[in-house]
Structure formats: structure tokens, C-alpha cells
Amino acid sequence: MTEETLTTLITDEIRELIGVEGEPFEVGEAVESGAVRRFSQATMDDDPAYWDQNHAQQTKYGGVIAPPLYPGFVNRRPAGSPDPLDRFKEDPEWDGTTGGEKPASGGLPPVNLPLRRLLNGGVTAEFFAYAQHGDRITGQQKYIDITERTGRTGLMVIIVTETTYTNQDGVLLCKVRNTSLRR
């Protein structure tokens, strides 16, 4: 405990971020069948509800859907926006992460920390409905908690962010809490 009092990375500015909500944001493109196909093929989940309209229409979904956690993976770099991979020109050792808490376009102010490494500490999700193909999904993020602890490699900052996803009709799809470990 005495060690932890020696230094802290959580400034007043960072502490004030707890509870802050970002502006609602539209998450990339509308849910498209090709993206759902690549997603479900990469996860090797051949649930016909993702691709077989005849099957899906006979279920409670009423049509083909996206996988439960798909709304958190719809973020796409808009066409014409700066290429993040340009960073390799100046920093060949860059690890390829676009930094901080996801998604970059989530509307939350960044947690400014002198820490380079980012680890995914865990996820909790609550599901209400699945996105349909063609849905336009809106997300809204909130900082739930920002804490720190001393690990083997020094101070580690733990950032819990909640994203609430709804579709264009205001139907609540899911709430996802991500824990990011920065060290």
C-alpha cells in the first residue's frame, strides 16, 4: 500500500472524466451482409440467422441479423480520412494500435497517460436485441471508472468504458463494458 501512495498517474483532469458521456455517434456504415459474412466466417460461427433470409424470416428476428457483439465492431475508417498506417513512416516500431480506448470516434475525450501499452482486460455485455442487416447503429460511450494499481511492471491504469448501442428506430441492442489496461 505504501508503494501505491508514492506516485499516481490519475490526475484531477483524468478523475473528472469518470461519468462523462460522449455525444451519440453513428458507428460507421450500416450493417451490411458482406461485413457480417466476413465477421461470422472469421469467428467460424455459421448460424444461418446471419445469412439465410428464408430461415431468419421464420424466427423471432424477422430477418437476417448480425452476431450479438457485432455493434462494437462496426467502426470503420471513413473513406478519405487520414490513413493510420501512415504512422509507420515516422515510427517503424509502432505496434499498430490506434491507441487508447476504442473506438477512436467514440466521442469521449481521451485519457491522456504516459503509457504506451494497451491490454484488453475484459468485457461484460448485456443483450436486448440483435442488429438487422441494413440497420444504422448509434453508440454512446461513458467512462464508468478509472482506477490504477501497481503491477509487476509499475503502475497500471484500468479504464472501464460502457457503450450503449441502439438502432435507427431507437431499439436498444446491447450495452458493452470494456476494461482497458494501460501500462
Contacts with other proteins, residue ranges (CB under 8 A)? 35, 38-39, 41-49, 52, 55, 59-61, 67-69, 73, 75-77, 84-85, 93, 95-98, 119-129, 171-172, 177, 179
Residue number with CB closer to other proteins (7 or 41): 41
The residue among 61 and 107 lying less far from other proteins, judged by its C-beta, is 61
Closest-CA residue to 106 (of 80, 131, 138, 135):
138
Q: Considering the complex, state which of residue 18 and residue 69 has its C-beta at the smaller distance from other proteins.
A: 69
Q: How far is the CB of 48 from other proteins (least distance, A)?
A: 5
| Assigned C-alpha cell, 47 | 448460424
Give the nearest distance from C-beta 5 to other proteins in angstroms: 27
Provide the pairing of β-strand 154-166 with 118-127: unpaired
Q: Which is nearer to other proteins, 55 or 136 (CB)?
A: 55
Q: How far apart are CA 113 and CA 95, in angstroms?
A: 17
Closest approach, Cβ 95 to other proteins, in A, equals 5
* Cell 484500468 sits on residue: 158
DSSP secondary structure letters along 66-121: --TTGGGG---PPTTSPPGGGHHHH-TT--S---SSSPTTSSPPP---S---EEEE
To the nearest whole angstrom, how small is the minimum distance from the Cβ of residue 112 to other proteins?
Answer: 21
CA 21 to chain centre: 14
Closest CA to 74 of 112, 44, 39, 101: 39
Nearer to other proteins, 8 or 120 (CB): 120
Q: How far is the CB of 77 from other proteins (least distance, A)?
A: 7
